[in-house]
Amino acid sequence: MQTYNNKTQQASNTINQQGPTWAAMNPEFVARMQLQNRFNTGLDIAKYTAKIMREDMASYDKDPANYTQSLGCWHGFIGQQKMISIKKHFGTTRSRYLYLSGWMVAAMRSEFGPLPDQSMHEKTSVPALIEELYTFLKQADARELQHLFKEMDEAREAGDQVREQAAQNKIDNFETHVVPIIADIDAGFGNEEATYLLAKKMIEAGACCIQIENQVSDAKQCGHQDGKVTVPHEDFLAKINAVRYAFLELGVDDGVIVARTDSLGAGLTQKIPVSQSAGDLAEQYNAFIDGEEVTSLEQMKSGDMAIKLGDRLIKPARLANGLVRFKPNTGEDRVVLDCINSLQNGADLLWIETEKPHIGQIASIVNRIRDVMPNAKLVYNNSPSFNWTLNFRQQVFDAWLAEGKDVAQYQREKLMSQDYDATPLAAEADERIRCFQKDAAAQAGIFHHLITLPTYHTAALSTDNLAKDYFGEMGMLGYVKEVQRKEIRQGLACVKHQDMSGSNMGDDHKEYFSGAQALKASGKDNTMNQFAV
Which residues are catalytic, by number?
222
Residues 6+ apart with CB under 8 A from 124: 201
Angstrom distance (rounded) from CA 379 to CA 154: 46
Angstrom distance (rounded) from CA 407 to CA 395: 12
Angstrom distance (rounded) from CA 408 to CA 419: 15
Give whole-number Cα distances, 135 to 33, 69, 236, 488, in Å.
15, 21, 32, 26
The letter for the amino acid at 45 is: I
For residue 98, what are the β-bridge partners?
A: 71, 181
Helix axes 125-157, 76-90, angle to 10 degrees: 50
- The alpha carbon of residue 371 and the mean position of all alpha carbons in its chain are separated, in whole angstroms, by 28
Angstrom distance (rounded) from CA 461 to CA 47: 37
Residues 6+ apart with CB under 8 A from 71: 82, 98, 99, 450, 451, 454, 455
Residues 6+ apart with CB under 8 A from 37: 138, 142
Reference 64, options 376, 502, 495; nearest CA is 376
Angstrom distance (rounded) from CA 533 to CA 530: 9
* Contact predicate 262/230, CB 8 Å: yes
Angstrom distance (rounded) from CA 457 to CA 454: 5
Residues 6+ apart with CB under 8 A from 223: 213, 260, 262, 265, 353, 381
For residue 446, what are the β-bridge partners?
A: 378
For residue 68, what are the β-bridge partners?
A: 448
Reference 138, options 187, 184, 192, 84; nearest CA is 84
* Contact predicate 143/505, CB 8 Å: yes
| Max CA distance (Å), the chain | 100
Angstrom distance (rounded) from CA 494 to CA 68: 26
Backbone angles phi, psi at 312, to 5 degrees: -110, 150
DSSP run (H or E) holding 257? strand 256-261
Which strands make up the sheet holding 229-230, listed edge to edge?
Answer: 229-230, 268-269, 324-325
Give whole-number Cα distances, 108 to 115, 201, 352, 385, in Å.
8, 20, 25, 17
Angstrom distance (rounded) from CA 343 to CA 352: 13
Angstrom distance (rounded) from CA 255 to CA 183: 12
